[in-house]
Structure 1
């Protein structure tokens, strides 16, 4: 692959506060409204802050692209900096292996600001992007910003946009649960098997629960793993975003993007595993699950127990496999 980057800078004649709210915080609401010839619709998964996901669905005019799903890496209201990383769709799998862009809004006057965009990408093969493709990547943010600018100038009222498409203000209950286990295998082996290659191992050793799994990305932070459940299970799949994969501290954190309990009992769901060596052949795994319920009721004790037992069961299944196969993941 070939790594590349491009930058652009544009001045817009609206205040930094208004352009920030419209183009960064609520782009998923505004862009389909003001650029309907390009954006058919948009969806948000999360509260809109860093860690959320936004899916922009394109019209046929954008063919062959149909959609892009972006992870909000940064949304810094103090420095007016946003960063998106594409995790699915868009140019991924076509010309690009990875694609991220950072936008920084800087006030110039009371009613004007500069928008600086930095785009970084890796090509899918060993050739650089053609100049024409780079130019398209560079021009698109400018066209979008100028469209937002025109809308805000034509509508000089309050900068607040309607939250008609944003439901994160609905009632919900935040909760978490923890679990800690001792495993009779080295931290090195369990890390490789249960964190780095769980998408390979779990369908192999737990076919009664996992029918298959897919990996989108290189497996590191920013990748996505989709686990498909066996037909006997009430859930059909879960799509997890790898938020953290720290090989130094042996810490893994997943955030569910789709499937699983989302839309049933939960509005958001993250799980963190931290593996700590106890001796050469034993380790502890500390598990923390955080969630927001879909309504104003907390999870029942039975539902929390199922979450804890499910994570413990998978860890113990991997331990059993590694003990039975001492050469695996050595």
Structure 2
């Protein structure tokens, strides 16, 4: 099996603690702020802490499952592993996603950092271009959540 990695960084005017709290509530927030993508996200095992297994149902009817591998409240980071899902998972054994919100020294904002590691079943069928596409999708969802937090300053 081959491994494909990607890195994404997006500056934000929203603070790291606020973004981190919102992402800890992703299962409730994402379907609310991006209903054209997310139909529902439910915990199928666990209470939302480390070891929880979540199932995401997308509007098109496809589903994916992930585990919550780590939460670091002090460093505003979390790690998940997607292990089952739609068509793209036909070519990927798993995708481990590490998210970190880094406070900005210059202002009250932060930087959203995402490191993704895709363990590929067939390296010819999941390439760096596929990873870049996934990063753009991730960035789009982040921007929607960021806009919600800016419009609702008392949320989280």
Q: Same fold (TM over 0.5)?
A: yes
In our comparison, the structure showing a higher alpha carbon Rg is 1
Matched, 1:136 2:133: yes
Deviation (angstroms), 1:158: 4.1
In 2, Cα distance between equivalents of 1:158 and 1:85:
27
Q: Identify if the C-alpha distance between structure 1 residues 101 and 77 changes in structure 2 by more than 3 Å, giving closer, same or farther.
A: same
**Most deviating of 124-133 and 107-116:** 124-133
- 2:17 match: 17
Measured against aligned partners, the alpha-carbon deviations of 1:226-257 in whole angstroms (never above 9, x if no partner) come to: xxxxxxxxxxxxxxxxxxxxxxxxxxxxxxxx
Q: Distance in 1 between matches of 2:65 and 2:99?
A: 17
Q: d(CA) in 1 for partners of 2:36 and 2:155?
A: 26
Corresponding residue for residue 104 of structure 2: 108
Equivalent position of 2:143 in the other structure? 146
2:87 is the alignment partner of 1:88: no
Map Cα deviations across residues 276-327 of structure 1 (whole Å, 9 max, x no partner). Answer: xxxxxxxxxxxxxxxxxxxxxxxxxxxxxxxxxxxxxxxxxxxxxxxxxxxx
Cα distance, 1:131 vs. partner?
4.3
Give matches, 1:1-330, under 5 Å.
1-23=1-23, 25-44=24-43, 45-60=45-60, 66-90=62-86, 91-92=88-89, 94-109=90-105, 111-127=108-124, 129-159=126-156
Unaligned residue ranges in structure 1 (runs of 5+): 160-330
Contact 1:2 1:127 in 2 (8 A): no
Q: Which has the higher contact order (CA 8 A, sep 6+)?
A: 2
CA offset digits 1:2-55 (Å, max 9, x no partner): 2110111001111111100112x1000000000000001110132211111121
In the TM superposition, residue 85 of structure 1 has moved relative to its aligned partner by 0.5
TM-score under structure 2 length normalisation: 0.90
The alpha carbon displacement at 1:71 in A equals 0.1
Provide the alpha-carbon RMSD of the alignment. Answer: 1.6
Q: Distance in 2 between matches of 1:15 and 1:126?
A: 38
Greater than 4 Å deviation, 4+ residue runs: none
8 Å contact kept, 2:12–2:109: yes
Count of residue correspondences: 153
Shift, 1:127, TM fit: 2.1
CA distance in structure 2 between the partners assigned to 1:59 and 1:46 by the alignment:
24
- CA distance in 2: counterparts of 1:121 and 1:49, whole angstroms: 23
Please tell me whether the aligned partners of residues 99 and 114 of structure 2 are also in contact (alpha carbons under 8 angstroms). yes
Matches of 1:103 and 1:32, distance apart in 2: 19
SS at match of 2:47: coil
Aligned to 2:80, what secondary structure does the other structure show? strand
